[in-house]
Structure 1
Amino acid sequence: MTDAKVVHLNKVAPEHSPTSPAGRLPVALIHVRDKAAQQLKQALQALFDNADDTLFEMADRATSNAEQNAFFEAMRDLRLKRKGIERGFLQKVFETFANLNQYEIGRAPQLDAVSFDTLALIQNDELEETVALDSMVAKVMSRDAVALGHLTTRINAMVSKKIDDKTNPLGPTVLCEFFLEACSRLGVEIKVKLIILKLFEKYVLSDLDQLYADTNQQLIQEGVLPELKTAPLRRKAGPGTSGARSASTGGAPGVQAEGGQGGGYANEDVQEVFGVLQELLSQVRGSGMPRREMPADAMPISSNDLMRLLSHMQQRPVYTNAAQDDFDLRNQLEQLLVRASAKSGKSRVVGEVDEDVINLVSMLFEFILDDRTLSDSLKALIGRLQIPMLKVAVLDKTFFSRGSHPARRLLNEIAAAALGWAEQDDAQRDSLYQKIESIVQRLLNDFVDDPAIFSELLADFLAFTGDERRRSELLEQRTRDAEEGSAKAELARREVEHALNERLLGKTLPEVVVRLLQEAWSKVMMLTCLKHGVESPEWQATLNTMDDLVWSVAPHEDPEARLRLLELVPGLLKALREGMASAAFDPFSTSEFFSQLENLHVQAFQRFKRPLPETVEETSAEALPSLDGEAPLLELPADEEIEAVAVPAMVEVVEEIVLLAPGASRVQEPEVSLPDDDESLARVDSLVVGSWVEFQEDEEHKLRCKLAAVIKPTGKYIFVNRTGMKVLEKTRMGLAVEFRRNAIRLLDDALLFDRALESVIGNLRRLKNA
């Protein structure tokens, strides 16, 4: 959410969608970043240039040698680490700007373990740091809140990842955190650290008003929200300023901006932003909007009377049960005013300011009810919030200008949570639907004129969505982990396929050998590839074993081959047996394979008719060496026995060997092959993790899902639903084909209220210029 005190009045800067490549910033924002970084660098240099003098003075006033030595050590430490602190601070600033167009998957906070022995000391030091930082930030906000708010709003107009004043890369909160983090390697006591923080306030934070003024002016020149006019720089406010502002506030009593800022800042924005909106409305009356026709004796009703009429309408069944696109707020209100006029004998009308508020809220909800991002069921629920939101706007005009307004935030949070919600038959049983319905009903039943109910409902809804988000993120992470594991297995499977086909394809071999390699030894190779990789000695050993097996069953005429075979077979069978055992291959099948292998090797010797050298004959007369005390792996039978061995079944490997995971089928690429420069492929490449999309599966069914991961090794795009469960898997080419036939629609996850307000202002401007 944005805590900016002003709205986006337009987006004249290039629009960057949530699907922009991570880190790509608008040119205007790059200029802002570079200029701000230069100013901050100069301020830091001034800080360190003066730090020696300050610490020396403190050492000179020290009351003990230990204290004096602490200051001298700090001076030395600061000199040594100065460059690292400067570099670390500026690097964080650049990283924060780069992340403005980058989606981040939230993670649950990790709690650090703290021992009870150090707890009190840590708390005391951190407490002092926190108090110092809060004081520093508060001083900047009391002086520069409006300028910072305008800067936040302008940045939000250019990026997809919305920020507020606290997360603005140039805001005092962020800058203080960055400096404290950069100084974390300093081995200084808390007393010295507080002095360094004071220097940061003096040399860096004190010049932020000039930085904000320059940056806002730079963005105005770039055409980014030029309507927002920041007041001239005022170093010190004159006496009674805040009182004068408070007296003129147009909001409800007690309504304050967030962060402890009173009606002063809020009212400046109300007069500016709401004034701009009123001016636009006045300029289009009579052209695109009906002109107010009022009798001469018309008497405007007060805002309190309007609130009573709206509360009456809010409770009527015609409103609570009506389809909101059929409900005409202006017409219903006009009927009530006609009755009131008949009773009083005077023509009663809505005042001009309240009329403008009604028109604006009506146009906002027209946009919301036409928004394709929301499903129809939830759109109907949100539409019933029109009167409660109108009442808030009548009470408090900061509703239009303050992104952190509880009512506005509630509407945005509901819409954000509903982004992944799809139409379903049992919608009433869905927990999110039930929660939104209960909030709507509570507002219709209980909201009269106290806006505090919105803060209460917002906190309750955030707690609900926080629990849901944590559950979905956990499942989503498990989905990603499983897919990454599957991708590694798929890569290993392809390596094994390649090795098998390279050695077997086109050859005629005993059928048992082909089956053994494809069904059994492939599993050994898979495990070896996953554990050790294809560059490892272990992987090479599996290939050597396979090569040896193929050689051992091939026909050989060279007499020396017999000697090699006698030497080879014992080690070969041992390697095969150990490998298949490590892969937990079925022992019964293993025994069958080895029995048939023994026959093959016996037949291999039948082909050798020439007498062997004496040493060889001595070897052949005996059993081959046994392994681990087991029976001999191969005994050479007598010649008459050899003749009796059956000729093995042979098979020619003519088709590529394809290995599949259990229960899987090889995904086929679409028949369409698009050129590399095709626009649809570019649209696929612009998708970033976290993007919500809607697939048109057929004429009646649509699937809403979020891109959870792009598995680079396999090129798979994994989509999940709002609970984090995998619902779809696509290839890059498959997605491009879907884009080409317009079966995919990107869902806009920008803040609903902000989008609605920008649309309304855009329409008013078009009507004005028509």
Structure 2
Amino acid sequence: MPVDSSLLEQCYALVLREVPPLLGRCVDTAVSALQEAENQGREVAARDLAGRAWWSLQQKRTPLTTQYSRRLEQALRQGDVDSQTSALARLSDSSLLALVDDTAVNESLESAKLLQALMPVVEQALAMVDARISSLIGLETVHAEKNPLRPSVFVRVLRDLMSELEIDGQIRSLWLQQVAPVLGRELCRLYEQVALMLQRANVQEAGYRVRLVADAPGSRLAPLSSGSRFDEGQGGSQWGRLSYPGEPAPAAASMAMRMGDLAREQSVLQHDVMQAFLAGEQGVFNDALDNAYYEQVRRELTRVDAHDGWPAIDEEAIERERNQYRDLPVVDRPARQLGIGSQLSPERWGTYAAPHERSRVLLELKHQADKVAQAVGLDVVRKLVNQVASDPLLLAPVREAVVALEPALLRLAMAEPRYFSQDDHPARRLIESVAQRSFRYNDEFSPEFEQFFEPVRQQVEQLNASASADPEPFAQALADLQQRWVDADAEDEARRQRQLEALRFAEARQELADQIAWEISHRPDIYNVPGIVLDFLYGSWSLVIASAQLTHPDAGPDPLGFRKVISQLLWSTRREVTLRQPKQLFDIVPGMIQTLRRGLDLLGKTPDETAAFFDALLKLHEPVLKLRRLRARAETASGPIPLEVEVETSAPALLEPATPEQQKPRIPAQPWFGVRELASAGFEDTLPTEHDQLDEVTGDSVAGELQAESHDAVNATAVLASLRPGDWVDLHSDGQWLRAQLMWASTKASLFMFTSRGGRAHTMTRRSCEKLLAKGWLRPVEVRAVVPEALKAVVSARQAQPA
């Protein structure tokens, strides 16, 4: 896959635009921290150093913030190789340490510490950037070391710039120490912006190539027991860890755990253990738990029981917070933080709203466990619940439901510890189905969402109350919810199918009409025909013929006789012929007019739409009609009958013969729709009610050009091209944000139909969509499988932190 340089440039532009204010905030925070250190320091030397450090940093703020962006751009363009970081890795060699002074060593170690401090903070956002940047630069798998925006580049450029601006190494080390915390948070936000931009530009994530790497001989892990480590005994399979492309295989797995650690409420299971466990490894997982494990479980239960006396949650405070959240536009609401440690509303979730009650269930089940597999399975369930609860794509009540459901999910692990690795397990399918259904809604406070969510909440209550380790209640809960959803969708689905059929018919009718117009343009009798007549034949009448053929597929090529009238119409407009054969014209015109009006009525054309054509046709027939009137008067007066009639030589321009351009049919940008079809497809609902209006459905003219800047620097055309039927968007319509789904796009991608709640249709032209995207009134919504993504995060060391 070739590198998309334009998108990469957009990434660079975003970073370079945000870096100066970002670094400015870091410097301001560091200055404040150093000032506080000076005021609170007890040693004179330390206070003096802190004072000199903050004063110097404050003086260097402007050159730091102005030059950093330029230096960073140079590093990005030149493909920084992190030579400084590589040198740091060699500083442990005593022979190298002898060649550098203490200041250089300390400063290098401070740089390394700064990088280490950043990684845990930016890890999750950086992983998304690594995956999408790897895909963007043409790699099929993730190569984090090839990401030009990796944290080590930011750290190296910052350290080099500080070295140039401040000669005192001690002061520079203090700067790096104080900058670390805030720089991590700022880079995390920056990486989130980059990841969002790439996501909206439809840059897919490159994959992680996961493999188990065997441990080196002699580095086996000790047995899992009281005070010892994992070991699988002689002849057992060796433990491994996740390995990624470009990463050297480790000498031994890094996981080490005691039996007592496995008994804790918050165990420290590492990703390599969970990966092996979910992959079906046996070995040590089949071992029995020992006394040390059960003793630790009892101590944990005692600690959790002490939480019973804690004050209950303040429901009024929660409601005030919810009201503040409700007042924000739905697309601007931040994802509320949730996790396994979150306190939920007792009014909504009952007993298990309290985190210590959920922890008690976990520990009681751990006390009942016999095998290591059961204890590990309980911890894996808890980590997965925490991961799903932190997923920002899901509305907060849906994530609350997963947290509240934890007790029921934990009980299943006693009978099937690895059930989450089974795609068809009822519990996994229930969570995934509820999550996917919830993507239809973008507002947790809307009545429509509440109608969807209340049955889900009731099922969570029932599953927790069942206290069963059998998956059957989950299967029944899912069946009940799915039946409710099918019933709720029945009316909307029928309406949606009618809308889709109308759109598809209009598209097929237009394609056939274009073919018919092309056939008409090759007739020999169109020569010297007025342009208005050809426009009618190429446009409206081709649609009439196409509609008749599509609605009567078995009645031959001309089921209603609309093709026959073409010859009559063309002949009747030839003035030099009709004046010599007026009787023949009088014979065919009444029937021809009747057929024309019948066809246009079937098409749905209104009299106002066809008035101009019939007025022109009357003017074309006027000479013959005038001749008839003269002969009638002559016969009445018994005078001679004139053989010729004087013809006006100055005919209106619209009656002039067709120009060469008019003789060629023009293919319209999108299908034609009648008034009733427009209403059914929802065209009247697509235009904004505020600010400047977008183009009409005809697309013939557009008021103004697209804005030069696009929302969040996203290329609107590229985003629109990436949309596929089934994708979800947030659409601003009639003053409110709706969650809508793309249901249909025309073959030429000139028309798009979205549907929102209640089966409401929103059909618009390409230009309308692009302008909505550019203004931020149409925003694609990321939708993905929730449980598989949580599993991937858990086994790849990207777990959410417990709340």
TM-score category of the 2 structures, normalised to the smaller one: 0.3 to 0.5
Q: Taking CA–CA contacts closer than 8 Å with sequence separation of 6 or more, which of the two structures ends up with the larger relative contact order?
A: 1
